[in-house]
Amino acid sequence: MAEARSRAAERARRQGARMHLMLWVVMVLTIASVLQSRPHPGVTGERLVISLALAGCVLSLTIAALARDTAKSEAATAALSLVLGVSGNTLAFLQSASMAVVPVSTAVALVFARLRPRLAVLLAAPQTVAIAAITAYVSPSRNAFQVAVACALLCVVLGAVYVFARQARLRHDHTELLLAELEDSREAQARAAAVAERTRIARELHDILAQSLSALAVQLEGARKLAERDQVASALHQLIVRSGELTREGLSDARRAVAALRGDDIPMADQLTTLVGRCRRDLALPITLSVAGQPRTLAPETNLALYRGAQEALTNIARYAAGSPTAVVLHYTPQATVLTISDQGRAARTDNDGAGTNGAVTPVEAWTGSGNGLRGMRERIEQVGGVTHAGPAGQGWIVEMEIPA
């Protein structure tokens, strides 16, 4: 609808620009005709009246061409057309050889171009009758009727042309607005259907995955208690405890995915705080988290894409640069939301099989891998309209995810 209204305003502007060009042309023709006809403009008697009538034509035409606000005011348009019409009829009466019908017919065209049809008829009819009567009176008797009819027809034709042009533009605008409204309605229906489908998927995901993980967590908790009671091996006990923790984390991730599908608002900073705390505990990564700028509410799918991207980046750091100081920066700018994850790399290590030069594997080589993690991260961010940049930074690696505001 906004685009349709913008196009309608542009069409109105173009039509107004053509009208303004015509007004300037009429002003030049009127001045040239009056100056070449007799009696010439002057400062006394009849010549003074001609000078005032010419000034009325020039002033009204100039205001109508320059002042854009007059096109929106019926009173201003009516006043300008009356001044122009009266001035033109005065010139026609005093200078029979001038082209006084031009400003009068322009006044008629002006009211039909800018006013309601009924009001335009009330203003244009007297001026048309007046120019026809004056022309018939001052013209030679043998062709007075023909000249009067020609003047009246010129006014009528110009008025009709601008009536049809204005109505055609308004009908075009109305039709385009209706089509835009229909398109917006269809898009709204599509969004509603998408929301309904996402809600259904969220419900199914919750009923199947979340409940299964909850049951598994309960079973593992029971196994942990049995292991403590029976005093099983320490390694087995730790494995059971860690399995329970992973199950609870998976349940938390499932609930987060369900919340994103349902459209629930979970602040990005809170999610990153939880993720960073988990990575400090489980992956032994020295991570710092900072938030800059004015936080804003992001779409659920955007939150999920950033969270999954951060999760992937931190997992890769734990694999290929374990123990490296890591910085997670969430930066809100007026134009975008930027999440940056960077590490400082780690010293070269020796593989068991002695591969590489002295068995050294750099972070860049390690990160190259199959590229599936980075590819999935990039696809997630692109689906929400963002971009991903990943590459070496000094001895380490940096991943930047940017989503426009």
Q: Cα dist. 218→211, 221, 242 in Å?
A: 11, 5, 14
Residue 88 and residue 101 in contact, taking contact as beta carbons nearer than 8 Å:
yes
Is 266-405 CATH 3.40.50.300?
no
Residue 41: DSSP 8-state: P
Give the pLDDT of residue 365: 38
Long-range pairs for 381-385: beta carbons < 8 A, 24 or more residues apart: 381/305, 381/306, 381/309, 383/301, 383/305, 384/299, 384/301, 384/302, 384/305
Q: Is 340 left (phi over 0), alpha (psi -120 to 50) or beta?
A: beta
**CA proximity to 265, closest of 291, 292, 302, 290:** 302
How high is the mean pLDDT in each 10-residue block of the chain (405 residues)? Answer: 83 81 88 86 87 91 78 80 90 82 89 86 90 85 81 89 86 88 87 77 70 76 83 82 79 71 72 85 85 86 86 87 90 92 68 38 38 78 91 89 90
Residue boundaries of the structural domains of the chain: 2-183, 266-405
> How far apart, in whole angstroms, are the C-alpha atoms of residue 278 and residue 398?
20
Question: What six digits make up the tokens of 28?
Answer: 């030049």
For residue 351, report the phi and psi dihedrals to the nearest 5 degrees: -75, 160
- Could you give the C-alpha distances from 346 to 208, 318, 366, 395, in angstroms and in order? 42, 11, 11, 7
Distance CA 362, CA 56 (A): 86
What is the structure's pLDDT at 264? 64
Which residues, 6+ apart, have CB-to-CB distance to 1 below 8 Å?
177, 180, 181, 184
**Any bridge partners for residue 330, and if so which?**
291, 339
For residues 175 and 22, what is the distance between their CA atoms, to the nearest angstrom? Answer: 28
Instruction: Provide the 10 A C-beta neighbour count for residue 320.
Output: 22
Q: Are 339 and 401 in contact (CB under 8 A)?
A: yes
Q: Alpha-carbon torsion 23, 25, 28, 30, what sign?
A: negative
- Tell the residue number behind the tokens 């008797």, with chain if given: 141
181 contacts: CB under 8 Å, gap ≥ 6 = 1
Is residue 365 classed exposed, middle or buried when 0-12, 13-18 and 19+ CB atoms within 10 A define those classes?
Answer: exposed
- The DSSP secondary structure of 135-183, one letter per residue, reads HHHHS-TTTHHHHHHHHHHHHHHHHHHHHHHHHHHHHHHHHHHHHHHHH
Helix/strand/coil for 359:
helix
**CB neighbour class for 310 (10 Å; exposed up to 12, middle 13-18, buried from 19):** buried
